[in-house]
Structure 1
């Protein structure tokens, strides 16, 4: 896949500001205008008798330079921030529409037809709907490092999770990708990580992730999450399922103490057998025999 084209510093700054909530961009625009306008409106320094000429010249040049920057910046920076606010609203709406359209999809075509950027938006919005605070790093392209940073309150403060998205429809994600993310997690002290792909993972990748705090979400698993309504737009009310002893239980997960749900294994040697799985899956993979 082609990587992103190079952008100008102004475009990079606009994209950074667009990651903020739109209302915060508007507040920053007003604050920046007031502050810079105050600097630009200050009277120019005048030469003083008895002061070192060189020191006075340095002060005059520095003051004139700052006033010149403030004169331009009092308009340029607020305009940039307001444009970022509009971009933030547009992107937020696009994410919700993307999640809604994908959730309504009947097969994997809705995901397979996405670009790598749309796939990252979908995954980020999906985690956001699950209560995470999501920071989109953007990366330099579809294969560029960590794509999302997730945060949520934990027992010892805020917990950080790293996410790498791989929009690979015809390829398996290998162990190198999982190992790379695990190394970044260790370096940054992250509580856990996710590798999300529209394809599948190799056996080596699954073996490496087993027993580690790295969750692998492949295409079929992502489709199951969407079909189960676990990733839905906030604007779409989630129907309340009828209470059923086969679905809702009082069994507690042995790993995280969350409620468990009754499921039936679809793959592997235990296919067709019922078991209890953690309701927070894939965050927690705790199971109990039924």
Structure 2
């Protein structure tokens, strides 16, 4: 899924849900009461006239709208937080990874990389055409990530070559390919000496467990 520049509710929902609650109350008070006070105090005759209209409730609908929008965003953030914790808590083996849909799988991978200190962006380019799912940023370096939630087959060298071509084309610094299973011998030979990391199901589970341990420790 492509991610565009955040604004409004999407931006607030990216914050901790508690921040959305506080921001809503602050916005309501600022518009409902603070705006009129500022106009009356610093705006001269015109400002005093406008401040009186604010004091009479002219901007009350805007204040309620801001409060509702921020609290809606806080609810979205709260539900997303619970969903992510549920995903972290349900991972016991490769079978659980296979049972997920692709959105859950990508969310799980995103959380694991964010735990490692990466800034993660979606791209909307995933698919059988060799596109990549995520872009990682850390220490000024860009890494392309391909997620392959295949149930049975091994990842072959064709996909690895395609990702290497994307690395060169986009001037990326590295590539990570993630699969539930494993990789063919040809694929593993191809990546030798190249900035490509093949992450198998067991390595992914280790990343997930480390992230889960951290999340549970913070929650406790």
| Fold-level similarity (TM above 0.5) | yes
Q: For residues 85 and 130 of structure 2, what CA distance do their matches in structure 1 show?
A: 24
Q: TM-score, normalised by structure 1?
A: 0.49
Matched residue, 1:95: 84
The Cα shift of 1:85 comes to 6.0
In structure 1, C-alpha distance between the alignment counterparts of 2:138 and 2:170, rounded to whole Å: 16
String of CA shifts for 1:56-111, please: whole Å, max 9, x gaps. xxxxxxxxxxxxxxxxxx9xxx79x7566644543343223212321xx1x32211
Aligned residues of 1:134 and 1:151 also touching (Cα < 8 A): yes
Q: CA separation of 1:164/1:89 partners in 2, compared to 1, >3 Å: closer, same or farther?
A: farther
Gaps of 5+ in 2: 32-61
Local SS of the residue matching 2:198: strand
What SS is found at the alignment partner of 2:132? coil
| 1:98-117 alignment, distance < 5 Å | 98-102=87-91, 105=92, 107-117=93-103
CA–CA distance in 2 between the matches of 1:140 and 1:130?
23
Q: Give 1:127's match in structure 2, choosing from 86, 96, 113.
A: 113
**CA positional deviation for 1:145:** 1.6
Task: Give the aligned partner of residue 149 of structure 1.
Answer: 135
Greater relative CO, 1 or 2 (CA 8 Å, sep 6+): 2
CA-CA distance at 1:221 after TM superposition: 2.4
Q: Which structure has more helix as a fraction of its residues?
A: 2
Count of matched residue positions in the alignment of Structure 1 and Structure 2: 174
> Which of 146, 156, 168 is equivalent to 1:164?
146
Asked if 2 retains the 8 angstrom alpha-carbon contact of 1:117 and 1:142, the reply is: no
TM-score (structure 2 length as normaliser): 0.63
Shift of 1:21: 5.6
Quick one: which of 159, 169, 176 aligns to 1:187? Answer: 169
Q: Could you list the runs of 5+ residues in structure 1 that have no partner in the other structure?
A: 5-11, 35-73, 239-290
The one of 230, 235, 238 equivalent to 2:215 is 235
C-alpha separation in 1, matches of 2:159 and 2:99: 23
On the 8 A contact 2:181/2:201 being kept in 1, the answer is: yes
Bigger proportion of residues as strand: 1
Alpha-carbon distance in structure 2 between the residues aligned to 1:210 and 1:86: 47
Question: Which structure: larger Rg?
Answer: 1
| CA separation of 1:90 and 1:147: change in aligned 2, threshold 3 A | farther
